[in-house]
């Protein structure tokens, strides 16, 4: 048991980036953390960590050993979940990842309803626009927007979204409404650097897809800022349909060039699908998928920016 304890402490040190961070995460005195790692190194007869006053790094032996530790600890944890009945009834903790805006608007309400229905499950919802690695980041379920590049993932499609172009009624009244993507050359454009390119905009679907190069007057780094600028009348912006749903619903923005709608992006719930799946994972997938699909359909009806299949 001491060896498992030492492994857990070592992994916590690596994940936290320092002995003090590991101590806080484990509720353990700094001296105890340091001693356990030192005892482990002494038992193995090799250094696992390279320590300086500024940083902590794994040695070559340490990288190999920590990777093995993670596998061993995960197997022990899985065995404990089986023994505790987590695979028989939905209980325990779920770690879920989702993009920031989509997660706040759509995933969080579904999570709230799920927690009310399953009182023995706890959820940690991590909202980030970074595409997480489910295994390395210890994420149970992720919501992904766009084509899935990892064929190892088990996916359930819950709907589609599209990039949409929109502008304020004031801007369109002042500058006119573009009738063709090429007309954008004569318009002020607000772009954001993110999932969508800020200068090369696609229209239509393959094999008749067109790409138009735009010269933005304003480039921002969040969709929210691009939407705010468009509402203020700065110009035409392109964002994902769910990001602009509220502004379309209220009439603060209007869609343009709808006849040239770009190709749709799938929205999927994914999980790693390794080993025996606990009931909590299946319960959330079954609960969330139809509700997310319904929310996307309702969003499409509200602003009419997307189609649904």
* pLDDT tens digits, 90-137: 778 899 999 988 999 899 999 999 999 999 899 999 998 888 888 778
The strand pairing partners of 134, in sequence order, are none
Q: What's the mean pLDDT in 48-57? A: 78
Q: How confident is the model at residue 309 (pLDDT cuts 50, 70, 90)?
A: very low
DSSP H/E element including 15:
helix 2-16
Q: How far apart are CA 290 and CA 133, in angstroms?
A: 25
Instruction: Summarize the confidence of residues 44-51 as an average pLDDT.
Output: 87
User: How far is residue 34's CA from residue 19's CA, in Å, rounded to a whole number?
Assistant: 7
Question: What pLDDT, on a 0 to 100 scale, did the predictor assign at position 87?
Answer: 58
* Percent of all residues in the chain with a pLDDT value above 70, rounded to a whole number: 89
**Distance between CA atoms of 50 and 234, rounded to whole angstroms?**
53
Q: Is the pLDDT of residue 16 over 80?
A: yes
Q: Considering only residues 79 and 187, tell me which one the structure prediction assigns the higher pLDDT.
A: 187
Question: 94 φ, ψ to 5°?
Answer: -115, 135
Residue with more model confidence, 219 or 85:
219
What does pTM read for this prediction?
A: 0.64
User: What is the structure's pLDDT at 131?
Assistant: 84
In the numeric block, which tokens belong to residue 114?
């799920």
Q: In degrees, to the nearest 5, what angle opens at C-alpha 266 toward C-alphas 265 and 271?
A: 140
- 71 or 89: whose pLDDT is higher? 71
Q: Are 280 and 115 in contact (CB under 8 A)?
A: no
Q: Which residues contact residue 89 at a Cβ distance below 8 angstroms, ignoring those fewer than 6 apart?
A: 120, 279
pLDDT for the residue numbered 272: 84
| Contact (CB, 8 A) for 191 and 199 | yes
* pLDDT for position 305: 41
Highest mean pLDDT among 64-73, 274-283, 288-297: 288-297
Beta strands in 204-264 (DSSP E): 210-213, 218-220, 236-240, 254-256
pLDDT given at position 199: 80
Best CA proximity match to 165, nearest among 265, 230, 237: 237
Name the more confident of 89 and 205. 205
What average pLDDT is seen over the chain? Answer: 85
């Amino acid at each position: 048991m001491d060896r498992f304890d030492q492994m857990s402490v070592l992994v916590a040190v690596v994940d936290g980036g320092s002995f003090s961070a590991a101590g806080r995460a484990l509720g353990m005195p700094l001296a105890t953390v340091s001693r356990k790692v030192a005892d482990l190194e002494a038992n193995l007869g090799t250094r696992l960590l390279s320590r300086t006053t500024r940083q902590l790094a794994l040695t070559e032996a340490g990288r190999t050993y920590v990777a093995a530790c993670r596998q061993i600890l995960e197997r022990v944890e899985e065995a404990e979940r089986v023994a505790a009945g987590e695979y028989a009834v939905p209980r325990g903790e779920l770690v879920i990842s989702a993009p920031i805006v989509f997660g706040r608007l759509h995933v969080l309400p579904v999570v709230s309803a799920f927690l009310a229905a399953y009182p023995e499950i706890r959820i940690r919802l991590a909202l980030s626009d970074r595409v997480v690695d489910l295994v390395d980041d210890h994420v149970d379920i992720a919501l992904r927007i766009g084509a899935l590049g990892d064929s190892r993932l088990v996916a359930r499609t819950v709907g589609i979204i599209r990039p949409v172009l929109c502008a304020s009624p004031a801007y369109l009244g002042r500058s006119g409404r573009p009738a063709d993507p090429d007309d954008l050359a004569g318009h002020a454009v607000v772009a954001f650097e993110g999932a969508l390119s800020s200068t090369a905009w696609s229209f239509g679907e393959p094999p008749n897809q067109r790409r138009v190069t735009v010269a933005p007057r304003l480039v921002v780094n969040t969709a929210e800022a691009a939407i705010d600028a468009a509402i203020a009348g700065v110009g035409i912006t392109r964002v994902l349909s769910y990001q602009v749903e509220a502004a379309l619903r209220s009439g603060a923005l209007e869609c343009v060039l709808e006849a040239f709608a770009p190709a749709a992006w799938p929205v999927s719930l994914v999980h790693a699908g390794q080993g025996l799946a606990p009931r909590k994972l299946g319960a959330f997938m079954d609960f969330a998928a139809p509700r997310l699909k319904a929310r996307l359909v309702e969003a499409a009806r509200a602003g009419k920016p997307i189609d649904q299949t």
